[in-house]
Amino acid sequence: MRMILLGAPGSGKGTQGEKLAAAFGVPRISTGDALRAAVKSGTELGRRAKTAMDAGDLVADELVVGIVEERLSLPDASEGFILDGFPRNTAQSRILDQLLLKNHLPAVEVALHLDVDDEEIVSRLLARASEQGRADDREEVIRSRIRVYNNETHPLLDYYAKQNKLIAVPGVGGVNEIFDAIRLAVIAVESGLA
């Protein structure tokens, strides 16, 4: 399975991504996790990414593309992947398509949109801020991340819909309930019913 996860920050991509990765036996690749690890260990990449991350902006394409390119070249990604947080703008989607082609890997099969409305997102992220203390979960940064999502990432829904790869599942309800809805939608798209 080669799947990308689309959805606002806090829509549940991480949680559902882990479950999907386990179910399909493929790695979940999160550019956000990789960037946070780089910031924590103080690498050059982390240093260059930190300002944009703290402001809730996207970091430069070349920084995330490097992460994804390296990760996709590892053997465990040869059978598939769940990409969480990449691509995040149309330039990155085109780059991903080219990367897969260049590495003789099959194209993305499914783009999953976890659909959650903005106000629900804000309250989830504020709750996560007090639980996990993520630096980018303060309210003004949260609003900016949602704005960036709506301006930069939301247009990707159209990019994948035009290729008949988009499935949209409401990201509200219990974790297992959402997961079951995703599974049904994936089966439908794979059998050409969607």
User: Quick one: which of 143, 88, 78, 144 has its CA closest to 111?
Assistant: 88
Residue with tokens 């309250």: 123
Which residue stretches of the chain are H helix? Answer: 13-24, 31-40, 44-55, 61-72, 90-102, 118-132, 139-148, 156-161, 175-190
Task: Mark whether 183 is an active-site residue.
Answer: no
Min separation Cβ 115 and ligand AMP, Å: 17
Does residue 86 interact with ligand AMP by CB under 6 A?
Answer: yes
Does residue 85 interact with ligand AMP by CB under 6 A?
Answer: yes
Task: Mark whether 13 is an active-site residue.
Answer: yes
Residue with tokens 């999502």: 149
Task: Mark whether 162 is an active-site residue.
Answer: no
* Integer CA distances (angstroms), 24 to 15, 28, 183, 188, in order: 15, 10, 11, 16
Does residue 171 interact with ligand AMP by CB under 6 A?
Answer: no
- 82 backbone dihedrals φ, ψ, rounded to 5°: -115, 110
Catalytic residue among 13, 19, 71, 124: 13
Residue nearest to ligand AMP (CB): 32
Report how many residues bind ligand AMP under the rule CB under 6 A. Answer: 17
What residues between 41 and 80 interact with ligand AMP by CB under 6 A? 52-53, 56-59, 64
What residues between 3 and 42 interact with ligand AMP by CB under 6 A? 9, 31-32, 35
Indicate which residues carry an active-site annotation. 13, 88, 128, 134, 145
Chain positions contacting ligand AMP, by CB under 6 A: 9, 31-32, 35, 52-53, 56-59, 64, 85-86, 88, 92, 136, 145
